[in-house]
């Protein structure tokens, strides 16, 4: 009996051609909701969608379900954790829509600079308002790109004919690799201060939600442009609303909390707003449909799982160690304070060494949230290599009696950040940062780190600055490095410490390094 695939979305006919040609039974009804199509086809073993939601309810109706494919890159419309519990693999088709989105960004930039949309409306109405639509040229401008994945890199290529300077931010990209792309790596703050145009290509998650806030928008040049074709939640709409007139900001938007009819909250602040057209080209639709079909056939016929984004945990490995690996990598990135990583060296002690392949993806996810922690080691290695980062899985000496612990070293030029962690009493613990040993910090919540030349009274001055800002200290420790005569203040606080306060602390105590971390 043929395996059944249901497709509750409009996709290029190639998806059905490939699947039926391979012997699959296909039910494609673009106007039918996933839940209704699932109820009518309870024997389906696979579902292919675009932006339609695949909820636990949909999966529970399909007892034979083995695979859900998202014909596109993002998969936040699919409950991947519930799918994992059900033993259902979830795939995406990375890169299929990338060129379409990159070209859309170019269209928005040019249309925004030349005021093409209002000029069209005016001219159709019979008016002749050339003076009102004086525009600006893209040539010679500075363009900042947040996120240099597939879309960000294609955007760099599309910009290359306009003689622009390109600044880029990507937490997992080596400076050498960025230079080969023709991009100067910068901090997010530097991009917002220097760029005439900022284009967003980062995922939405707990760390990036609301990331484009009043502080960053307030740093933008007057007349600058912000383009969001990524995710709606990464931008603080209220901050744009407050600062738009003062900054004479141009805001072009293609993403919303929900893809549906109805009023959009950005309509009063967006100069151009589109109905999520990023992937809406015939070419992208064809490619996404083709890859979705090919991956489905390869999955069932050949056992190919290369694009599965919710791979599980092997027997014998406590999934908390995957969380630990991701946390240590995230802390290492914070400790580097924006410096580009060129190499990662990892040591997995005790029983963890046998599961090193299963810990690489969480490390990669901790470094770069756009990479999913449920991916496999091969995908992680490919991802890191694409960003010019080498990896080393070191042999370990268990005679050191570190137990089940993880040490990760991050190399950036001649600098090295080394972090070790373990699990104690069921809690994730950071036991060492560089030469500061015996920390045993539970990193949950907001934590301030400040490294400084050890001297009496420094901790008091830091505490005084925090107190003046009504920030309460809930825990504090200050290990010393006698060899370098430095100390590290590790201070847990009742709220996030603003960048302005960390800058004041750095200046007041002449800190070597100050950063905040929220686990």
Our count of domains for the chain comes to: 3
pLDDT, tens digit, 9 for 90 and up, residues 228-269: 999 999 999 999 999 999 999 999 999 999 888 999 999 999
Residues 109 and 222 reside in one and the same domain: yes
The CATH number of the domain holding residue 328 is 3.30.70.260
Q: Residue 360 falls within a domain, yes or no?
A: yes
Residue 306 is predicted with a pLDDT of 82
Residues 230 and 248 reside in one and the same domain: yes
Select the more confidently predicted residue: 207 or 228.
Answer: 228
Residues 229 and 324 reside in one and the same domain: no
Select the more confidently predicted residue: 208 or 315.
Answer: 208
Q: Residue 308 falls within a domain, yes or no?
A: no
Residues 268 and 387 reside in one and the same domain: no
Residues 57 and 117 reside in one and the same domain: no
Alpha carbon distance 434, 440 (integer Å): 13
Residues forming a β-bridge with 453: 486
Confidence at 329, pLDDT banded by 50, 70, 90:
very high
Confidence at 505, pLDDT banded by 50, 70, 90:
very high
Alpha carbon distance 278, 238 (integer Å): 24
Residues 292 and 265 reside in one and the same domain: no
Residue 246 is predicted with a pLDDT of 95
State the residue range of the domain holding 155.
98-273
Residues 392 and 483 reside in one and the same domain: yes
Residue 337 is predicted with a pLDDT of 86
Mean pLDDT of the chain: 93
Neighbours of 413 (CB within 10 A): 11
Residue 294 is predicted with a pLDDT of 97
Strands across the sheet with 165-169, in order?
A: 184-185, 165-169, 142-146, 197-200, 225-228, 250-253, 272-273
Query: Per-residue pLDDT for 305 more than 90?
Result: no
Residue 27 is predicted with a pLDDT of 97
Alpha carbon distance 123, 409 (integer Å): 61
pLDDT, tens digit, 9 for 90 and up, residues 39-89: 999 999 999 999 899 999 999 999 999 999 999 888 889 998 899 889 899
Q: Residue 312 falls within a domain, yes or no?
A: no
Task: Please give the C-alpha separations between residue 128 and each of 123, 133, 136, 137, in angstroms, as whole numbers.
Answer: 6, 10, 19, 21
Alpha carbon distance 203, 208 (integer Å): 7
Select the more confidently predicted residue: 375 or 445.
Answer: 445
Residues 143 and 237 reside in one and the same domain: yes
Residues 267 and 346 reside in one and the same domain: no
Residue 315 is predicted with a pLDDT of 72
Residues 237 and 157 reside in one and the same domain: yes
Q: Residue 84 falls within a domain, yes or no?
A: yes
Total-model pTM: 0.76
SS3 for 181-240 is: HCCEECCHHHHHHHCCEEEECCCCCCCCCCCECHHHHHCCCCCCEEEECCCHHHECHHHH
CB-CB contact of 198 with 227 (8 Å): yes
Confidence at 399, pLDDT banded by 50, 70, 90:
confident
Residue 268 is predicted with a pLDDT of 96
């Amino acid at each position: 009996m043929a395996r059944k695939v249901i497709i509750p979305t409009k996709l290029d006919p190639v998806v059905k051609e490939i699947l039926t040609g391979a012997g699959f039974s296909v039910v494609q009804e673009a106007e039918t909701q996933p839940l209704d199509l699932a109820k009518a086809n309870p024997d389906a073993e696979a579902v292919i969608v675009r932006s339609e939601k695949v909820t636990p309810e949909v999966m529970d109706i399909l007892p034979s379900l083995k695979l859900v494919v998202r014909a596109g890159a993002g998969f936040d419309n699919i409950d991947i954790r519930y799918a994992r519990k059900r033993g259902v693999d979830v795939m995406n088709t990375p890169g299929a829509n990338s060129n379409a989105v990159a070209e859309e960004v170019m269209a928005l930039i040019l249309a925004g600079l030349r005021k093409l949309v209002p000029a069209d409306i005016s001219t159709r109405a019979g008016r002749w308002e050339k003076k009102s639509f004086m525009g600006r040229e893209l040539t010679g401008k500075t363009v900042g790109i947040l996120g240099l994945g597939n879309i960000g890199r294609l955007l760099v290529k599309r910009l290359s004919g306009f003689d622009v300077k390109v600044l880029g931010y990507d937490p997992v990209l080596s400076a050498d690799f960025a230079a080969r792309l023709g991009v100067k790596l910068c901090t997010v703050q530097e991009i917002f201060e220097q760029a005439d145009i900022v284009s967003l290509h980062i995922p939405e998650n707990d760390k990036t939600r609301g990331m484009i806030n009043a502080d960053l928008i307030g740093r933008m040049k007057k007349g600058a442009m912000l383009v969001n074709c990524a995710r709606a939640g990464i931008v603080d709409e209220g901050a744009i609303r407050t600062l738009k007139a003062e900054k004479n900001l141009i805001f072009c938007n293609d993403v919303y909390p929900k893809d549906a009819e109805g009023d959009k909250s950005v309509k009063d602040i967006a100069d151009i707003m589109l109905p999520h057209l990023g992937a809406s080209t015939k070419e992208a639709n064809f490619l996404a449909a083709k890859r979705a079909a090919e991956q489905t056939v390869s999955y069932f016929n050949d056992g190919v799982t290369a694009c599965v984004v919710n791979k599980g945990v092997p027997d014998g490995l406590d999934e908390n160690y995957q969380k630990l690996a991701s946390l240590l990598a995230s802390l290492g990135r914070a400790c580097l304070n924006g410096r580009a990583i060129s190499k990662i060296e990892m040591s997995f002690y005790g029983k963890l060494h046998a599961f090193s392949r299963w810990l690489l993806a969480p490390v990669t996810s901790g470094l770069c949230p756009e990479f999913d922690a449920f991916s496999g080691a091969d995908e992680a290695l490919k991802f890191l290599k694409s960003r010019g980062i080498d990896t080393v899985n070191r042999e370990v000496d268990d005679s050191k009696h570190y137990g089940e612990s993880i040490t990760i070293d991050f190399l950036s030029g001649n600098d090295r950040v080394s972090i070790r962690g373990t699990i104690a009493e069921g809690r994730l613990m950071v036991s060492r940062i560089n030469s500061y040993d015996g920390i045993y910090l539970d990193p949950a919540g907001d934590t301030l780190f400040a490294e400084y030349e050890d001297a009496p009274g420094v901790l008091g001055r830091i505490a005084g600055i925090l107190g003046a800002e009504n920030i309460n200290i809930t825990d504090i420790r200050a290990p010393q490095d006698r060899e370098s005569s430095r100390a590290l203040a590790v201070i847990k606080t009742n709220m996030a410490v603003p960048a302005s306060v960390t800058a004041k602390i750095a200046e007041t105590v002449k800190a070597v390094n100050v950063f905040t971390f929220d686990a």
